[in-house]
A and B are shown apart, each in its own frame.
Chain A
Amino acid sequence: TPAIWSPSRAAGKRIVVRDDGGIYTKAYGAVFYRPFTDATGIEVVGVQANAEPVAQIKTMVDTKNYTWDMAKISWPAILLLTNGSKVYLEKHGLESEPVIKSIPAEFMSPYGVGTNVYTTVLAYRTDAFKGRKAPQSWADFWNVAEFPGRRAVRKHPFDTIEEALMGAGVPTAQVYPCDVDKAFASLDKIKSSVAVWWTSGAQVEQMLISGEIDLLPTWVSRPQSAQAAGAPVEIVWNQGIWGGDNWSILAGTPNADACREFIKFASDPKRQAALTEYFPAGLTQPEAFNYVKPELAKNCPTYPDNIKAGLKIDAKFWFDNQAAVIERFNSWILA
């Protein structure tokens, strides 16, 4: 279709939303985008970009060339885009809207309306722990002697530092601000027992399904899809590390108001609930669980039992420390 090849966008009633692609685009299209167009006549185009698309957003705002109007981004991304001398996101100003008000404050910020929660959990192969005690915490993961098995750890300090601290016995509440020295000391202990340092979710999924690895920390969606593929995999929600995805509006976009309309529309509890038909979404409206089948609900990161024992990511800590920690992690891993 030639329309696809026309330059970025035609004027008119249309907003372009960056999302995570894949199943998100599919689910959002069915649950948010098309119904919104039907309801308002405003076309919504969902586009995918690489993770953490801060560079694109900065460029679009700097050049005033709004290929996107809004984006689904994480807390660290929001911090990166709003903490300098120039602010690249529009304040949404929707706090007082009824449909937004009902979202818990922990999912909200002036530049983003929480729409999804993702969690990093401990996952293991049940066949590897058949007839013996399975790991239930990061401490168990760190306990190589009592919980033998092939381990994988993410080759990146995000989440890994928190896991190391909890693995060393630091209570969830005291993880932040992270004691980095202690975290690396803890990592030292497990370093030699790590068979694989993973870098991508797809890799994790493959390793879980093929039995390459017995236990590892990973984003919960991966063991979930491994389960769906029939692999004997179990998820430990205890001490899950969670963070939020938000609807954010690019500063200066002429379609900011349409975006606001869309955010309101997409924050509707019933609508959020409908996402679970596609995947176990991290619903940010507590009320949404009223509309979700219980067997689906317990797979959602924000299901009360799941999130209760978890740890919320401190984006500010990472914003302040990531440069140093990443560098240290990189040199640690080579040593």
Chain B
Amino acid sequence: MTSSSLRVKGLTKRYGDFVALAPTSLDVAKGEFLTLLGPSGSGKTTLLSLIAGLAHPDEGHILVDDADVTHSPAYDRDIGVVFQNYALFPHMTVEDNIAFPLKMRKVADADLRRRTAEALETVRLPHVAKRYPRELSGGQQQRIALARCIVYRPAIILMDEPLGALDKKLRDQMQLEIKRIHRELGTTIIYVTHDQEEAMTMSDRICLMNAGAIEQLGTPEDLYFRPQSVFVADFLGESNLLSATVRQVDAQGLDIVLADQAAPSRAVGNGASFAAGEPIKLMVRPQNLHVEDAANGKLTGRLVDVMISGSMTRLYIAPERVDMPQLVAAYPTRSSAAPYEIGQLVSLDWNSADAVAIRDGRGH
């Protein structure tokens, strides 16, 4: 079985004065599927290049199966990479591109052909085998880059947005393929994506990066339901963040009061410990914010906009109280749903089990 564990200790990369990656430590278990998520420029590609041996860290160590590979050349690491910009070899046909890693491993000709053809099948592009990369569309190139990486089954695969240029349909299919490879071969995968849905459905754990450092590392549910910071709450999925103060903490949750409001309400914690009187942010996901016609909810506001974005229809609501940010509520799209009217006064409510308290220490 080709699978390896990976450890990164205090890895740092600077470009001149600019710190692209602050000292970062990370453990990835054998066969784990870890996703790197984070804003553009947060150091995801940088971290991958260091792990792959394509850039030299200024400090820190990389261990593959407990062996220090910090100074090993890339070709000795058995780490496959799918590059963000594809990096297909322009002078080779698609077929030759995919066969390249097999050739480097001196795979016998018949085997090589078979596996190349298989990889092309996997990415659903058997008909472009003889073309050159410049004769492919963006998405086709990306799939070839993917095929070239999975064809030789490296122990660790790093994928830098391998599906970024694909449409939803194909993306879903490719996700299944990647998961299948992951499952069947037990390969350790570190995956970069901008698609949160993808990150949540595919990963064992998600590593959320921000400004060259790890912001939170945990299972998708951890990050989604128990974000450790406002940044995480805000970055992963949409969220309404309301200022509040802790009144009292008990085993089941917290008693809180929303800012400038007398009525107390309940919330659940995110795992951190809270003290009474502490100012917090209360996170309510849009799909958990219920809009009601009657004025019996926790908040009221005016409907600003309605947007259908596929399966969800979003309502944008300006709260009556001016110092609050705009709120978003979402509900499943139905062609048969009764339409709301822009400008209409609505009442908002949520289930206290869906309101998560977050320390207000770090803002974005």
Direct A–B contact in complex, judged by CB atoms less than 8 Å apart = no
